[in-house]
Amino acid sequence: MLTAVTAFHRRARALLADGGRGGPTLGEFLDRHAFSPYFVQHFAIPLVSAVWSCAPGTALEYPARHL
């Protein structure tokens, strides 16, 4: 999973660097970059839920650019 965390941060920085507005939801971003279900369930969702104080069921609906 450490490799996936590094890849996630690299791709997230690239998303921010493109300077666009809008963009994919977190779920779309994770799907587009083929992150594993394990990574999504055990890293991405808990991280977003903790930072944004949201229910785990809604974490993937947040805009990826704002995370």
Q: What is the pLDDT of residues 25-56, one digit of tens each?
A: 999 999 999 999 999 999 999 999 999 899 99
The answer to pTM > 0.75 is yes
pLDDT score for 22:
78
Residue 22 vs residue 65, higher pLDDT: 65
Cα–Cα distance between 45 and 56 in angstroms, integer? 6
Amino acid in the structure at residue 62: Y
Q: pLDDT band at 66, cuts 50/70/90? A: confident
HEC string of 25-64?
Answer: EHHHHHHHCCCCHHHHHHHHHHHHHHHHCCCHHHHHHCEH
Dihedral (C-alpha) 55, 27, 23, 17: value to the nearest 10 degrees?
A: 100
Contact between residue 11 and residue 33 where contact means Cβ atoms under 8 Å apart: yes
